[in-house]
Amino acid sequence: MKKSLVICFALLLSAFMQPVMAQKSEVQTKFNVVLQQYYVLKNALAKDDAPAASVAASKLQEVIKEVPHTGFSSDAQHQLWMKESAPAVKSAGEIAGSKDLKEQRKSFMGVSEPMLALVKGLKLNNDAVYVQFCPMGKYTWLNEVKAVQNPYYGSAMYDCGSVTATLK
């Protein structure tokens, strides 16, 4: 009888947990799409490609808005998402609306700072994220590879900077 109760309880618990786990999985999946699109934008800026940066920033706005508002593992995570995603969307919009590389790079800080806070706070990234820093301009950004690819100076100082942290 005890064994039957334990089995029933386990089945019942798994039935209730499955939707919660699916939501968290969706949040994690969508967040990683956001992170990948951030890298596309970062790489366009590092390559001095203003038109590609505009397109990437527009797409970044879209994928940020696709992250569901349910499925975060805590209210604190959801609050962090709400707080940091809004300025990232705003700054991505500024980049998307500009054809000037200098202006795009200036607005990129407004994307990188919230993205760093989100990666640190949510801990939903599937792969290692390399936090990089350029001492010339005191800029921080995220990179998908350890090798420095400076989006703030592009070809002028492509590899200026260092890895300051690895977030897993």
Residue 16, beta-bridge partner list: none
Beta strands (DSSP E) in 74-168 are 129-134, 139-143, 162-167
Residues 109 and 142 sit within 8 Å (Cβ to Cβ): no
Radius of gyration of the chain (CA): 19
Contacts of 11 (CB under 8 A, 6+ apart): none
Of 31-35, 73-77, 87-91, 127-131, which gets the smallest average pLDDT? 73-77
Is 151 a residue whose pLDDT tops 50? yes
3-state percent breakdown (helix, strand, coil) of the chain, nearest 5: 65, 10, 25
pLDDT tens per residue across span 2-57: 565 545 444 444 444 444 444 458 999 999 999 999 999 999 999 999 999 999 99
The whole-model pTM stands at: 0.85
The Cα–Cα gap between 115 and 85 comes to 8
pLDDT tens per residue across span 94-149: 999 999 999 999 999 999 999 999 999 999 999 999 999 999 999 999 999 999 99
